[in-house]
Structure 1
Amino acid sequence: MSNTPMQPIDFSALLASSVHDLKNSLHALRELICQLESFFPEQKPDELKQLNFEANRMNNNLMQLLTLYKIGLSQCTPTIDENYAVDILEDIVDQHSTLLSLGNVELITECDSDLMCYCDSAMISNALCTIVNNAHRYCQSKVLISASQEQDYVVFSIEDDGAGYPESLMSSDGQQQLPQVDLGTGNTGLGLFFTRTIARLHANAGKQGFIETDNNSRLGGARFRLYLP
């Protein structure tokens, strides 16, 4: 019998490899969903719309894990460019309007058409979509997404009319904390952790992006804010 000691397992690399395998399987599943949709050229069943959305949501979650892994290895940097904030909001609306309408949730947007921001629009859109997913899950009937200029920052806000954030998920100092699983609600906090990480990759004129979470929504529930310098 060999007495050779076992080599330590690199769980981060193992996780990344597993995520890649899951993405391959999920890609095949999404292809099958597209084939099913072709059988309904006029009106697609609500269940099929829900299935398509959930598959896309899982794909986004896996992309977030891979992005965090690459950031940890310093292999991921944002492509900063000048963008219209309203274009980012419209992209979010395009991804969520169908599902929100299925749940009779009203999606409200507020943004000046000429508001500009410097960011990696794909990263920011992906991060904000995660927060909108959570808002849809916990709201009663309304979600408000907006963008505005506040001093040296462009601020993206997502507000809802739900019960609000639990104390464990509220933060006003922009500190980066590892996500904690709430066994009562099933909330992992991964979306907030990912968005905070993406925000901190954005820096300009000596300032760094950050997020804030509180229960001061104009709709009476949770309010999330992403600050981009």
Structure 2
Amino acid sequence: MVLSRLLPRPLADSAFLRVYVWLALALVLTFVLALSTFALVDKVRHDHYREQLAEAPMTLLSLQLAALPLSRRDAWLARKSEQLSMTLSLHDRRNYPLNFFQRTSLESGRTLVDEVDEAEGQGWKLFRQLPGETWMLRAELKSLSEQQLLGLARQLGEWLAEVDGEARLERLERLKSPVIQAQLTDTPPEDLPPTQIARLRDTEVVIQLLPQRWAMTLYLRLPAAGGGIQWVEVGPLAAFEPMSLSLSLSLLVAMLGVLAGIIYMIVRGVESRMARLEQAATRIACGHLNTRVKVESGDFLGRVGMAFNGMASQVQALLRAQQEMIRAVSHELRTPVARIRFAVQMVEDMTDSGPVRRQLSGIDGDIEELDGLIDEILTYAKLGNDHAQGVLQEAELVDCRDLADNVVEALAPLHAKLSLQVTPGPSVEVVADPRYLQRALQNLVANACRHAAGQVRLTLSDDGQVARLDVEDDGPGVPVAEREEIFKPFARLDDSRTRRSGGYGLGLSIVHKVMLWHGGSVMVDDSSRLGGARFSLLLPLKQAGVTPA
């Protein structure tokens, strides 16, 4: 990132300091943007105010000038320039250096206001195109003084005095603008002092100041038809008002919205990186040990990502080494176990002594248990190896009722004194690895047979989303405090349920791991029907029992 190259190394390596720097830059940027916006809006409003203020006098002068023939215009401009203390000149719009927007403004009948170049001093240049002509009137003045206002008012009086009646009203209407309002009345102003009323009777122009409104109004007297008198009221002419509070608040809210958006994008970047780290940790917890975090920078979060990747690699290597060691040891144990069994059989063939044969039979049973333990260890290691990514390679549609019947049929001859039953009901189908699912169910049934007093019952059901396989027995049950511990490898409970029945402590761990990689779970509680333990396999139906790759 550009910021990483601009900041010193300690700052570039700290994600939180970078966030604070970004926030500080955002605040400064918002402040500068707010000031610039306020200044720009105020300038646009001020320019618009000047155009509206210059509209009426420039319209008056251009109408008077347009009514004169070309031969008299130069003299009229010179005389009015002296009277109004401003420079008036006439130019052909086609040959005057104007840009596109200025030409468009003039052609639309608007008054153009421009500042005088610094080399020429201070002041304003006003432009107005004569109606129906390509000529335009140019007025240049340094400032607007009281003398100029009085001169413009006298000019208005002379122009209105040329006509009477409706024509006078039409002329006055043409001079109106949003800033300057003018009206004719037949009664003298009531709020003027007597001295100003007397000056009006002497046909002088009177200016009334309105301090409370920062404005002023001009009054002049005109003769009317039939020897009457009319009064012209121009104004009030209000001074330029700065930006209103409501507009300022609106701009401030807009700036705060921009700042909020910038802060959101900054925090969102940090949050998205943390979310990717969380997703990677979740995938590893689900068994996807090859998951790694993409490291994009060397800041704090980047270092966390690198440490996370190193931890994941080390965990994956340790698990792989552990599984390889367990598998190698288990395979190596099969050879001496086979030799011992062969030697026991040879000794058994060489003697007819009853006590010796009984001892040999016990040794053979121990060898059988050791062989079974090796098989359990290999199965447990194979589950950790083949499904290290949480993917079942041989998933297919499995009828759980057929699976339960097969398990009962295989184990019933080994437990002739027990009653093994599958509760009648509809078929329940799931998508699973049939070999491992049968192994899990067989481990549960075998565990129930070891602890049952006389009955073991299998029940299958589903609620439209989850398939449930319950294995119940009438044994002593599992204490509530130990119901999570029994699913850990080599867990053996120090009670009558385990000590009198043997076992290696791996069968239920294998069940738990098989269900984990099927996207399901195994749980244990009390059997309400038989009084012993009830182990339940829960398999999701909708996601087909397979954890996605």
TM-score, structure 2 as length reference: 0.31
Are residues 134 and 23 of structure 1, via their aligned partners in 2, closer, same or farther at CA, if it must alter by over 3 Å?
A: same
Matches within 5 A, 1:186-225: 186=499, 189-202=505-518, 208-225=519-536
- Which among 376, 400, 404 is matched to residue 85 of structure 1? 400
Aligned length: 191
Q: CA deviation at 1:214?
A: 0.8
CA distance in 1: counterparts of 2:434 and 2:335, whole angstroms: 25
Alpha carbons 1:159, 1:217 under 8 Å: kept:
no
Supply the distance in 2 between the matched residues of 1:217 and 1:27 (Cα, whole angstroms): 45
Q: What per-residue deviation string (whole Å, max 9, x for no partner) do you get for residues 129-163 of structure 1? A: 11112111111100001211134111111000111
Question: Higher mean Cα deviation, 145-154 or 131-140?
Answer: 145-154
Partners of 1:64 and 1:220 in 2: CA distance: 29
Measure the CA separation in 2 of the matches of 1:27 and 1:112. Answer: 45
Is contact 2:473–2:527 with CA below 8 Å preserved after alignment? no
Instruction: Give the partner amino acid of 1:127.
Output: A
Equivalences for residues 107-186 of structure 1 within 5 A? 107-171=420-484, 177-184=488-495, 185-186=498-499
Match of 1:40 in 2: none
Alignment of 1:19-98 (within 5 A): 19-23=330-334, 55=368, 61-74=373-386, 77-78=391-392, 79-98=394-413
Cα shift readout 1:44-94 (whole Å, capped 9, x = no counterpart): xxxx9xx89x95x76665344223323334556432111111110121012
Distance change (3 Å), C-alpha of 1:114 and 1:98: same
Q: Residue type of the partner of 2:466?
A: Y
Seen in structure 2, the aligned counterparts of structure 1 residues 143 and 170 have a Cα distance that, compared at 3 Å, is same
Does structure 2 retain, via aligned residues, the 8 Å contact 1:154–1:228?
yes
Structure 2 residues not aligned, in runs of 5+: 1-320, 346-360, 541-549
- 2:477–2:532 CA contact under 8 A, matched in 1: yes
Structure with more of its chain in helix, by fraction: 2
Residue among 18, 21, 24 paired with 2:329: 18
Q: Distance in 2 between matches of 1:16 and 1:63?
A: 10
8 Å CA contact 2:404–2:458 kept in 1: the answer is: yes
**What 5-or-longer segments of structure 1 have no aligned partner?**
1-9, 34-47, 203-207
Give the letter for the 1:214 counterpart. D
Give 1:224's aligned amino acid.
F
Aligned 8 A contact 2:330 2:378 in 1: yes
Match of 1:42 in 2: none
Q: What is the distance in 2 between the residues matched to 1:109 and 1:195?
A: 19
Shift of 1:200: 1.0
Letter matched to residue 94 of structure 1: E
Structure 2 residue identity aligned to 1:201: W
Between the aligned partners of 1:123 and 1:25, the Cα distance in structure 2 is 28
Q: Deviations over 1:180-223 (max 9, x none)?
A: 23344346542222111100111xxxxx2001101134211000
Query: CA, structure 1 residues 151+137, in 2 after alignment: closer, same or farther (shift >3 Å)?
Result: same
Supply the distance in 2 between the matched residues of 1:15 and 1:145 (Cα, whole angstroms). 33
Stretch moving more, 115-124 or 176-185:
176-185
CA RMSD of aligned residues (A): 3.3
Cα drift, residue 12 of structure 1: 4.5
Distance 2:415 2:490 in 1: 26
State the one-letter code of the partner of 2:539: L
SS in 2 for 1:20: helix
Contact 1:12 1:69 in 2 (8 A): yes
Counterpart amino acid of residue 153 in structure 1: V
- Look up the equivalent residue of 2:533 and give its one-letter code: A
| Correspondence for 1:6 | none
Match of 1:105 among 409, 413, 418: 418
SS in 2 for 1:146: strand
2:397 counterpart letter in structure 1: E
Distance 1:95 1:109, change over 3 A: same
Q: Which residue identity is paired with 1:137? A: R
Would you say the 8 A contact 2:460–2:469 is kept in 1? yes
Instruction: Give SS of 1:165's match.
Output: coil
Alpha-carbon distance in structure 1 between the residues aligned to 2:438 and 2:372: 11
